[in-house]
Amino acid sequence: MSESIARNPSTNSKAELRKRLLQARNEAQAAGHADASLAAHLRGALAHYAPHTVGFYWPLAGEFDARAIVGAWLERDARRQAALPVVAMKGHALQFHAWTPDAPMRIGHHRIPEPLDGQPVLPDLLLVPCVGFDDEGYRLGYGGGYYDRTLAAWPDIAKPVTLGIAYEACRALLPRELHDIPLDAVVTDGGLFASERSI
């Protein structure tokens, strides 16, 4: 992706920026060399934050697939939990239900697999997929606002660490809206980048 595309959102609508970043993400994943580095940095982030319960995501096209890493993380300690998002109602906050690699799944809203019988859990670390991200931890998603609504509704006493998952090719200068909530950190094929407020 050229510097003019990634760093100059004033010349592009948010929808156009999202389209270009999605293309950059797909190209980064297809190139095949970024996933191994991203996986190593994600394993390091899990060791650094040492969560009890990890909420993550079922990968869509172009998204980094964290399932094997989360599955291996679960195997190392029986007290650990993992959870996937469940869309109980379109446009509402996400719920997170318990997941294991052999959990039965169903197709939920937006045709995304989710646990069939998982118990609701409250993750203390949340892996958040990014279409794009900036140096201050703000992310660009798909435009549905699910994660913003979910984090806004989360109990203050139990706010999770939010860790964006992205490719370096998708680092950009992003437009922001009042409801946007920055991530605590972003892990990419280039490393783990914590925001200033989380240091």
Could you please report the per-residue DSSP string of the chain?
Answer: --HHHHH-GGGS-HHHHHHHHHHHHHHHHHHSSHHHHHHHHHHHHHHHH--SEEE-----TTS---HHHHHHHHHT-TT-EEEEEE-SSTTS--EEEEE-TT--EEE-GGG-EEESSPPB---SEEEEE-SEE-TTS-EE-SSS-HHHHHHHHS-GGGPPEEEEE--GGGB------TT----SEEEETTEEEE-GGG-
Mean pLDDT of 180-190: 95
Nearest of 180, 179, 66 to residue 126 by alpha carbon: 66
Q: How far is CA 3 from the centre of its chain?
A: 24
Q: pLDDT of 143-171, one tens digit each? A: 888 998 999 899 888 899 999 999 999 99
Q: pLDDT value at position 197? A: 53
Q: pLDDT value at position 198? A: 55
Q: pLDDT of 34-81, one tens digit each? A: 999 999 999 999 999 999 999 999 999 999 999 999 999 999 999 999
Question: Does 3 score more than 80 pLDDT?
Answer: no
Domain topology for 3-198? Rossmann fold (3.40.50)
Domain ranges of the chain: 3-198
Confidence band, pLDDT 50/70/90 cuts, at residue 4: very low
Q: pLDDT value at position 177? A: 83
Q: What is the pTM of this model?
A: 0.90
In whole angstroms, give the CA distance from residue 151 to residue 175: 19
